Every structure is written in structure tokens, then in C-alpha cells.
Structure 1
């Protein structure tokens, strides 16, 4: 409970001069970026976590020696600043991923006692974290990136999805520094809005924001409000990441499409499913045998240009609605 509510002399704005008050909108933007950034990272992890479970069960059906339980998605967080801490809490509260499947690398692991007590292993070894994780979140300062990339280059497994929160470094530049193209980076844009202050309703407790249906609605990637927008490129990059996970598991293209479509159930008379042509161009589709995996997709490239998938999604309202529905349902279902 906030004891300062309605006490004007203890309010954040008290004591600010007129020039400083003109910058108050930046506080709402900061809160909004934290909420949206963590929410979208959690959404991507929940999809990947679900897909990995489906892949394991699919493989187990054809192999009596395989376990249906699988190892589960492993998530690494590199950096324990504000965004790293909020992300770790949201992953614990919202994804169903076990604490033993989350690890943190930080220069000061002794400051992460609260996470260690929850069962998350904390240490300072970036290479170890990258080699272990299926998804690696970069939550460090831009000034630390040259050293971190030099440390990680040639040590990242091909299947490790790097999720970057570092706004100052474009995805293609990060791919060059890491020598790795399986990178996902949300690119937020500021837009005019009269409701930016809605993010301040949970400014002191960003991890509680996803308890508010209004904020979940406002953070929906294909229909964001509250002063932000996120292009279809990010959504398509998430879908391509799902496809690459299937490819790394050596699933046939038909099997991959079946599992991905199962993540986005469509209802109603005017519906479409993802097909091979949704992801790759016609020439690639013609040469792709049904029992053959999809080719590996360079995720850094897909976020910098139009792709068959971005054109497919942007032209089909039913697909956009399905993705939005899944986003809201996944974030509203708290799995502690």
C-alpha cells in the first residue's frame, strides 16, 4: 500500500519547477516501456515454452524411449538492473517456467539473494549462461555490450535465441558483434496519445501491471495504446523464432506448421492457418519436401525488411485477431 497517496506534499511532483514538470511525461514513458518490454518478453517465452513441450510430446509419440516431460525451456538473464529484475519476477509469476530453469549472470550475484531464495541460480559467467540457455535476455547497459559480445562471440549455440533490450544498438549491429543471427529485438515507437498516464497506475510495482486487464490490452503488440507502437516485424520475428525451434528439432515442415497452428487456434467462418507460403517465398516452398525441415531463418534480417510472413500477417485481420487473443489469454493466466 502506498502511504503517500493523496498527500500532495509527498507526491513525486512536489518541489519540481515548471521546466521540470514539462518532462513529467517521460516518467510515464519509462513505466510503459518497462511494463511492455517485460510483457512482450514473457509472451515470447510462454509461446516458446509451450512449443518446446509440444515438440517433446510429439517426438515421444514416435519414440517409446523418449520422455514426454522433456527438459523444458531454459531462460538466461544477463544483467540485473531494473529491467532484469522485473523480467525475472514476471517470468517466475507468469510463465510456468520452473525457477531451476532460469539462471542469472550479473557482475554482483550477491545482490540477487531474493532470486536465489526462490530457486534461481545466480553467478557471474556470461559464457556459461549463453551455453546453457534456450533464450538469453540481454538486460545490460549499451556501454557494456562491446565487452559482452566479445566474450560471447563464437560461444553462442545456434539454437539460443538472444532477446535484446538494448535500444541503442540495432539488431543487425548486434548480430555482427555476436556473430549470431538468432536475435529478437522489440523496436518501440512513440506516438501521440492522451492516455500515457495509464502506465503510472502501477509505476511502483511493474510486476503487478499484468494483473490489470486494461494494461494487458494497452500492451497488445498489434494494437498498442498509451503512447507506444510495435510494428508487425516483432510479431513476425517471434513466429519465425518458433519456426527455427522446430527446425533445430529437425521436425518436418508439415509437423512444424501443425504445432505452430495449434498455438494460435482460429475460430469463425473466415479463418486461415499458417502454411509454408506464409513463412517462405514460393521458390523455397516448391523445393521444400513435406518431410523436410524448414530452412533456418536469419532473424536479424527478418526484422529489417518485408518478408512473406510480415505481408501475410499484415493483410489478414483474422490472423492478427488470433495473435492478439492468444497474447491476452497467455498474460491473463497467472501460473505461479
Structure 2
């Protein structure tokens, strides 16, 4: 059983189907001893797209994960199954990875707090879908550990248990820096809420306005669209609420979807998220309000590398001033 993680994804699936290993046992074999010793009860492996290569969670074995707010809409992805389980209260949190929004997109679609950790702060050795072979015991470029939770501060013990060095990096250590501020008024916030070449949906714009209003009411120093932004977002994605499902297991070539009636390329959905992956810094999705169709709308807070606890604390404090997590009506 112990050699299953080093086998191909096909062989792993066969072992699962044959009952040679359970999803729970397979996940435990991947995780470091520290996470289990921290007291986590591992329930199993949640639904995702083949190879983690989509922003919804659909596959030929289990089918699509449905959004608990509207089952005609996608859960998001790639960690969509874990987002649904967490939002519905069936598990305390979902632990996964993020290379372009895999924890933050489904958190946004399902009304959760989704965190992408600082690059290489959480070891991903042996992580699927990187797979056996070259690079098996290294981390994929830009890929980071992540989690989805119902309360922002639940991310803190998860990161403290997961952050550190891989076993083969013994002799090195990694410590999470304490938050730079513990009162909302002590934070400085730069707001990047729109771009002429990449307009956001009106529901998202309203969420930005809500957040800015709350921050200013708390005496936070807020700067709108700083002139010194270090990146160009001319081709980056316009966020929207969760779109409807599509009928492809992997939408490799994409399809149009609409933002306020304007068609946009399907894969534009990852580009704003990917800014945080390229920078290597942490990012947290914060549920702010509901859109016109009743779906959750979240915003992303980014920070400097190593500043995970600062971003999480900011998210926790801001969530008191906005809507924050609300259980889906069917699971309230």
C-alpha cells in the first residue's frame, strides 16, 4: 500500500476502485507526519477535475460538483469538491493546492475564505498532478499549498501545522511571521478594483465599494489604484459570480462566458488570481456580499511573501464589517 503514491494517476485510480487503498489512506500517505500529529482528522479526497486542470470540478468518475447556493452553477475549481463540503458544513476545512486560483476561485464561488500560502512555505513534494517521474520530489513552479475555511482565523492553525520544510530539507526551518497589525485601523490597504482593459462585473465592483467603505469607516489608510503598480493587467481576467456548468471534462481550449453580458475567454478566470502566484506572496479570498442573483461575491487580499498571518488577520477583521461567511440556505 505504501508505494501507491509513487504510481501513476491511472494506477492510483485502479487501486482505489479495487479497494486496495481508501481515499483517506492515500491522502494520509501524502501528508507530512506533522499535519496528522496536529490533530487533523482526515476524511478523504474531495472531487476535482482531471489533473486539477479546470476552474470547475468535474470528472468522468464522479461527475460535477454542484454549487450549494445554486446547483445549476459550478462549484469552481479545481478544489470545487472541497469547497462544497466546507461551505455545507460537512467538514471543517479543505486542504489543497493553488497554482492559479484553485483554492481562491471555489472559495469565491461558494462564499468561503480561501488562502494561497507564500510560495514554498508549505512543501508539496509528491503532490498530484505533478506526478511520478522528473521533479516528483520537488515543488511545481508557482504551486502553493492552500486551504478553504468558513472562518478566516481557522487558516492560522492549518498553516502552522502545514508550513515548514520538506523532510529532505532537514536542517532548514520556516517560521510564520506574526501579523503586522491586529487592529483594522492599523492596516494600510491599496485597492486595485478595476482596469480599463479588463472591466470587472458590476457585482464585484459593488463588493469593492462595500469593502472600501468599511475600511475607511474603520480609519484604514486606503489608496485607490496606486500609480506605482508593478504589473500590467491588460490581458488579465474580469471576475464575476459563479458561471453555469460547461459540458467538457477539461476545457483545454476554452469557451466564452459572460461578464455583465460581455463575452470573455473562459481561461481569463485565472489571470487575476495568477498575479499572486507569479509574485509568490500570499492571498486570501474574503466573502463580502451577495450578487444580484444571490450568489456569493468575494474579493482577494494580497500581501508580501511571508505575510500570510498579516493577510489572514486583515481578512478576519474586515469580515466583521462586511457580510463574511453565510451558510448556504439549504445547509443553514
- Structure with greater helix share of residues: 1
Which of structures 1 and 2 has the bigger CA Rg?
1
Q: TM-score, normalised by structure 1?
A: 0.27
More strand as a share of residues? 2
